[in-house]
Structure 1
Amino acid sequence: MSQPYAEVIGDPIAQSKSPLIHKYWLEKLGLDADYRAHHVTPEELADYIAARREDPDWRGCNVTMPHKQAVVEHLDRLEIGAELVGAVNTVTRRHNGALIGTNTDVEGFLEPLRERLADKHYFRMARILGTGGAARAIAAGLAEQGFTLVIAGRSVGKARALLEAIDPEGQHHAAPLQHFAEPTDFAFDDREGCLDLVVNATSLGMEGHEPLAFDMSHAPPGSVFYDAVYHPLETDLLKRAAEAGFGTIDGLSMLIGQAAIAFERFFGACPPREDSDAELRRILTS
Structure 2
Amino acid sequence: MSTNPPRACVIGWPVKHSRSPLIHTYWLQQLGIEGSYGRAEVAPADFQNFVSHLAEKGYRGGNVTLPHKEMAYRLATRRTERADSLQAVNTLWIEGGELWGDNTDIIGFLGGLDAEVQGWEKTGDKAVVLGAGGAARAIVQALLLRNIKNILIFNRTLERAEELARLFGSGVTARPWQQLGESLAGVDLLVNTTSLGMAGQPPLDIDLSALPSYAVVDDIVYVPLETPLLAQAHRRGLRTVGGLSMLLHQAVPGFEHWFGQRPEVTPELLALIEADVTSTPK
Interval containing the TM-score (normalised by the shorter chain) = 0.7 to 0.9
Q: Aligned with 1:9: secondary structure? A: strand
* AA aligned opposite 1:42: P
2:221 is matched with which residue: 192, 214, 229?
A: 229
CA contact (8 A) 2:9 2:61 kept: yes
Alignment match, 1:10:
12
Distance (Å, rounded) in 1 between the aligned partners of 2:55 and 2:161: 34
The aligned residue for residue 73 of structure 1 is 74
8 Å Cα contact 1:87-1:137 kept in structure 2: no
Task: Tell me the residue number matched to 1:239.
Answer: 231
Identity rate, percent:
39
Describe the shift of the 1:26–1:197 C-alpha distance in structure 2 as closer, same or farther (beyond 3 A). Answer: same
- The one-character-per-residue Cα deviations of 1:196-243 (angstroms, maximum 9, x if unpaired) are 111111222222222222221453442111111111111111111111
Q: AA paired with 1:17?
A: R
Q: C-alpha distance in 2, partners of 1:187/1:253?
A: 24
The verdict on how the C-alpha distance between 1:83 and 1:63 changes in structure 2, with shifts beyond 3 A counting, is: same
Give the superposition deviation at 1:257. 0.8
Task: Give the conservation status (yes or no) of the 8 Å contact 2:215–2:238.
Answer: yes
Report the counterpart of residue 279 of structure 2 in structure 1: none
Cα separation, partners in 2 of 1:67 and 1:179, compared to 1, 3 Å? farther
Partner Cα distance (2:179, 2:14) in 1: 30
* Distance change in 2, residues 1:227/1:187 (3 Å): closer
> How many pairs align?
270
Q: Does 1:265 align with 2:264?
A: no
Q: Give the direction of change, closer, same or farther, for the CA distance of 1:154–1:31 in structure 2 (3 Å limit).
A: same
- Structure 1 CA distance for aligned equivalents of residues 56 and 101 of structure 2: 17
Q: Give secondary structure in 2 for the equivalent of 1:38.
A: strand
Per the TM alignment, residue 110 of structure 1 is displaced from its structure 2 partner at its CA by: 0.6
Q: TM-score, normalised by structure 1?
A: 0.86
Distance (whole Å) between structure 2 residues aligned to residue 33 and residue 78 of structure 1: 25
Q: Provide TM-score, normalisation by structure 2.
A: 0.87
Q: Distance in 2 between matches of 1:251 and 1:64?
A: 16
The yes-or-no answer on 1:89 pairing with 2:90 is: yes
Q: Aligned Cα RMSD in Å?
A: 2.2
User: Which residue pairs with 1:47 in the alignment?
Assistant: 49
Aligned to 2:278: none
Match of 1:64 in 2: 65
Q: Supply the distance in 1 between the matched residues of 2:268 and 2:101 (Cα, whole angstroms).
A: 30
Aligned to 1:200: 192
Structure 2: 5+ residue runs without aligned partners?
276-282
Query: Counterpart amino acid of 1:240?
Result: Q
CA contact (8 A) 1:128 1:201 kept: yes
Contact 1:264 1:271 in 2 (8 A): yes
How has the CA–CA distance of structure 1 residues 163 and 259 changed in structure 2, closer, same or farther, with 3 Å as cutoff? same
Amino acid at match of 1:136: R
Return the match for 1:285 from 271, 274, 279: 274
Q: Is the 8 A contact 2:121 2:146 kept in 1?
A: no
Q: Is 1:206–1:230's contact at 8 Å kept on the other side of the alignment?
A: yes
Shift in Å at residue 272 of structure 1? Answer: 4.2
Q: Deviations over 1:33-83 (max 9, x none)?
A: 11112223333322222232544x311111222222232111112101111
Shift of 1:187: 8.7
How far did residue 178 of structure 1 move?
5.1
